[in-house]
Amino acid sequence: MTENNKQVQKAGDNSQQIQAGVVHIYQGITEQRAHEICLQTAKKVIEENTTGALEIANQRLNAFEGVLIPRIQKIEADFNSFSDPAFQILLKKAQLTAACTERNDDYKILSELLVHRVKNKSNIKKKAIITKAVEILDQIDDDSLLALSVFLTMDSFIPTSGSISKGLKVISDVYEKFDLDMLPNGYDWIDNLSILGALTVSRIEKLRKFEDYFSDTLSGYVCAGIKKDSDDYAKAKEILAEGGIKIDFLVDHELVEGYVRLPLVDKEQINTLILNDDEKDAVGRVFDMYSKNSDTIFLAKSKFVEMLNSYPSINKAMKWWSSIQPAISLTSVGRVIGHANAKSIDPSLPDLDKR
């Protein structure tokens, strides 16, 4: 890799002006060439505008490119995607949307969608979803976009910490990144997203309560666990010992006094642990030993709901969820847009391909 410190600028009548400082050159498409491709496709977009709209279109396309190029470079240093005709067509569609939108944040969202496209070059289904998402983004109003991302976050993101309090703190921190006071009520935002194909609406069912949904999703938190000093507790210690796992892998239950549990979000998380098959089998057997006593499980859930409501951001998000009357579900297009927008708000969230 070499560096070129020359200033490169291209300009012409009604053209987009691009200036690059340090240009990094790789053995694939150079950063300068990527800029040139953006310029060439942008010219086609600009040509479709009347004279009075050219200045605004130029400003928006320059702003979009300023976000896009660095984001692509983080995941593809050689810019090879820019040599793909299909990518260039999608790039033009994204530029059309960028030229039409009044939201600066849409440039980040469009960039995330193009990054998702780069990572799924050969996946036809995902390519179709991304293309549709790019085409409709500017038709989603601010309220609907916020609602889409908050609903997606509540529906899809769960903590990984085995500690209940730490896990809920992570969720609370994510929710705080959103302007929850601006979440829409009523049906207009649902109608907007439904018309665009970002969500589906059930006319006969109601949306499940969030505390019920979340309790089931975090079944490793909302469980009875194993009572200390019981026969099951002794058996659990024996199983763990035989599997070569220390007894302190069982932790005090934060929701039920006098009980212990494994530090897991749910049973499926066992497969992600750095353990051999015998160790995973031992942990799974202990998980299956959790008490099935309905009173104890009810107590755990009641305490869990109390903990949820103790975090202001989670409490506010739950109240909004409860205000949604029909049962709704996000389509693949809605999920892609919701995730891209959420990540533009909170960059610490996983990429679309890592959820």
242 falls in which pLDDT band (50, 70, 90)?
very high
Task: Reply yes or no on whether the pLDDT at 11 is more than 50.
Answer: no
> What does the pLDDT look like over 36-51, one tens digit per residue?
777 777 666 666 655 5
58 falls in which pLDDT band (50, 70, 90)?
confident
26 falls in which pLDDT band (50, 70, 90)?
very low
C-alpha distances (whole Å) from 160 to each of 82, 215, 268 are 36, 15, 11
Task: Reply yes or no on whether the pLDDT at 197 is more than 90.
Answer: yes
> What does the pLDDT look like over 303-326, one tens digit per residue?
999 999 999 999 999 999 999 989
Task: Reply yes or no on whether the pLDDT at 28 is more than 70.
Answer: no
> What does the pLDDT look like over 262-294, one tens digit per residue?
999 999 999 999 999 999 999 999 999 999 999
pLDDT given at position 44: 65
Of 231 and 16, more confident: 231
pLDDT given at position 352: 75
All structural domains of the chain with their residue ranges? 2-139, 142-216+301-354, 225-291
Of 38 and 258, more confident: 258
Give, for 24, the enclosing helix (H) or strand (E). strand 23-25
> What does the pLDDT look like over 84-139, one tens digit per residue?
889 998 998 998 899 888 899 999 999 999 999 999 988 999 999 999 999 999 99
User: Cα–Cα distance between 324 and 240 in angstroms, integer?
Assistant: 45
CA nearest to 158, candidates 349, 305, 346:
349
Which residues is 201 bridged to in the sheet?
328
Mean pLDDT (whole number) for 227-231: 96
What is the percent of the chain where pLDDT is above 70? 88
DSSP characters over 245-294: --GGGSEE-SSSTTEEE-S-SSGGGGGGSS--HHHHHHHHHHHTTS---H
> What does the pLDDT look like over 132-157, one tens digit per residue?
999 999 999 999 999 999 999 999 99
pLDDT given at position 27: 45
336 falls in which pLDDT band (50, 70, 90)?
very high
Alpha helices in the chain (DSSP H): 31-47, 51-75, 85-100, 105-118, 124-136, 142-156, 164-176, 188-195, 210-217, 231-242, 277-287, 294-310, 312-323, 332-345
Task: Reply yes or no on whether the pLDDT at 295 is more than 60.
Answer: yes
| Residue that has been written with the tokens 């212990």 in this structure | 260
Distance of CA 311 to the CA centre of its chain: 21
